[in-house]
Amino acid sequence: MYKLFFRLVFTRMDPERAHHLAFRWIRGAARVPVLRTFLAAALAPRHKELRTEAFGLRMHGPFGLAAGFDKNAVAIDGMAMLGFDHVEIGTVTGEAQPGNPGKRLFRLVNDRALINRMGFNNEGSLVVAARLASRTPLLRTVVGVNIGKTKTKTVREEDAAGDYVKSAERLAPYADYLVVNVSSPNTPGLRNLQAAESLRPLLSAVREAADRTATGRRVPLLVKIAPDLADEDVDAVADLAVELGLDGIIATNTTIAREGLGLASAPALVKETGGLSGAPLKARSLEVLRRLYARVGDRITLVGVGGVEDAEDAWQRILAGATLVQGYSAFVYQGPFWARAVHKGLAARLRTSPYATLADAVGADVRKPV
């Protein structure tokens, strides 16, 4: 039913306009108690065998919504209603910003992919923090907060740490976990911060800010990296994360690559600048995840994202070392029953596997003797 609706309605609309329309429907449904309860029962049935613990947080399962869908923390309950076990909001920047000019979001339908050059459009950390502070949760879910660098001439690359610290100070008190995003291709110079010599002081500053403002608890801190890093740079980030005592790494963000991905969409679309997400990213994201797990083992929690379309993709991420799995692009193509299908498929795979729990399966393929 959804695929027919997508083809007849959404494909005839600008992708960003369709996103906002769907967003309003989700938020509206979550505000109606009876409808919210009915939809949560239908779309988010719980599987006890999928219960997951990460960063000391207990979740109904391992499958969450990646950052980028709910930039301003306005639909957390709506996304929980649709079955996501955790919701990562953002990316939120120190200051409010409109993002890049339109048109800035493109569907590559034949590739089950998206290209975006949104440019961290969001209401800013002050507004988002106030919204989180006043929020009364209607459905239980873990909320991650993804922070990035403000894209202005006054916030230069060398000033980035202060901008991240501002967001961390405002948002850490309301975050179940905090993510430092240094891997979006749509903010000039941002990806340069992934270099160890730049990343070390940045992460240390954010850690100190979170500890200073989130009194009475330690907020888990993660970093999100790009799939376009060279293997030796992936290793360097892994080693740095262990050195600094980070809680996790999210692998991966969108890619700027186009060659070698077998893209079938119209050349004019493929040539659009921005980050590519969805099915074409699947192989590289999985490769980076495997490399990270081989390097850090169980010392750091890994989150697998990028090209996750179904339960098999999620299962492969878990076997490659991910404790948590996230998705976004496939939600656009598969609709409101997507999370339900992923959970059902994961539960079936676990039952027929040699592993007693999901935790036993994490990294199992990487740990196999060669």
User: What's the total number of domains in the chain?
Assistant: 1
The annotation status of 117 as a binding-site residue, yes or no, is yes
The annotation status of 23 as a binding-site residue, yes or no, is no
Domain assignment of residue 168, given as a range: 2-367
The annotation status of 282 as a binding-site residue, yes or no, is no
Residue, of 226 and 158, whose pLDDT is higher: 226
- Residue 24's domain is classified under what CATH number? 3.20.20.70
3-state secondary structure the chain: CHHHHHHHCHHHCCHHHHHHHHHHHHHHHHHCHHHHHHHHHHHCCCCHHHCEEECCEEECCCEEECCCCCCCCCCHHHHHHCCCCEEEEEEEECCCECCCCCCCEEEEHHHCEEEECCCCCECCHHHHHHHHHHCCCCCCCEEEEEEECCCCCCCCHHHHHHHHHHHHHHHHHHCCEEEEECCCCCCCCHHHHHCHHHHHHHHHHHHHHHHHHCCCCCCCEEEEECCCCCHHHHHHHHHHHHHHCCCEEEECCCECCCCCCCCCCCHHHHCCCCEEEEHHHHHHHHHHHHHHHHHHHHHCEEEEECCCCCHHHHHHHHHCCEEEEEECHHHHHHCCCHHHHHHHHHHHHHHCCCCCCHHHHCCHHHHCCC
Q: What is the pLDDT of residues 90-130, one digit of tens each?
A: 999 999 999 999 999 999 999 999 999 999 999 999 999 99
Given a cut of 80, is residue 157 above it in pLDDT?
no
The residues annotated with a catalytic role in the active site are: 184
How high is the mean pLDDT of the chain? 95
Given a cut of 70, is residue 370 above it in pLDDT?
no
Q: What is the pLDDT of residues 72-83, one digit of tens each?
A: 999 999 999 999
The annotation status of 27 as a binding-site residue, yes or no, is no
Residue 155 — pLDDT band, cuts 50, 70, 90?
low
The annotation status of 224 as a binding-site residue, yes or no, is yes
